[in-house]
Amino acid sequence: MVNILISETDVLFQCGLQYFFKDFFSHVAQQDVTFTSDFTADSIRAADVIVLSLCQGEYFTCFPELQARQQGIIIGIVEEDSGIKALPSCYQDIIFISRRAPLSQLRLALFSAWRVTPLNKYRRPSISCFECQQKTLSPQQVRIMIGLYKGLSVTDIAKELCISEKTVFTHKYMLMHKFHLRSDYELIKLLNRIAEKNNWANIFHQYLNR
């Protein structure tokens, strides 16, 4: 039995992935599959394949649940799969696949990874969380992110934090550059994902609940 964890908010896309995996493993491994969407340390520990739906920039943030991973393959569904470097240690062997990629590309990548998985048992990276390359933010950047998340304008954020509008614009630019974001839409989407997490060193939630 192949255990597959799919963390995907688009129900139709998730159904398509389930159909794909059933077909793939029935032919390649002659095994049945079981699915879960419960993204917890226990489900990650038991999963043979983990599929994460990642918005732009989210792959630079921390997923502490992945520290429980003990086996298998991790696939990241992204908007585009080019130029992704300097990732957190939990992502070092992730397979990035564009959401718009043909199924043949996913099939080839999964076949290559599955073929070597029994031979090369997954080993947790020796890099500690203190050495992790996840993107970090200054307290001021977190405050500005909170303001943007709340829908405040640059002028409102500047007044609330008693800083100039130019300073807010500069920090916003640095944030977008740090997370490879290309538009305000991608920034807000990333902020929404971060707000849903419970692992941003509690800083995001601390400021959000004030």
- Specify the pLDDT at position 33: 93
What is d(CA 5, CA 71) in angstroms, rounded to the nearest whole number? 12
Report the predicted TM-score, pTM, of the whole model to 2 decimal places.
0.78
Distance of CA 3 to the CA centre of its chain: 20
Tens of pLDDT along the chain (210 residues)?
899 999 988 899 999 999 999 999 998 888 899 999 988 888 988 899 999 998 888 888 777 778 788 778 889 998 876 556 656 656 667 888 998 899 999 999 999 888 876 544 545 555 455 555 556 677 888 889 889 888 899 999 999 999 999 999 999 998 888 888 989 999 999 888 887 775 554 555 555 455
Instruction: Spell out a b/e string for 119-138, using b for 16 or more CB atoms within 10 Å of the CB, else e.
Output: eeeeeeeeeeeeebebbebe
What is d(CA 92, CA 127) in angstroms, rounded to the nearest whole number? 10
- Specify the pLDDT at position 34: 94
Instruction: Spell out a b/e string for 35-65, using b for 16 or more CB atoms within 10 Å of the CB, else e.
Output: bbeebeeebbebbbbbbbbbbbbbbbbbbeb
- Specify the pLDDT at position 199: 53
Beta pairing class for 2-7 and 33-36 = parallel
β-partners of residue 98 are 78
What DSSP element (H or E) covers 7? strand 2-7
Q: What is the DSSP letter of 172?
A: H
What is d(CA 130, CA 88) in angstroms, rounded to the nearest whole number? 11
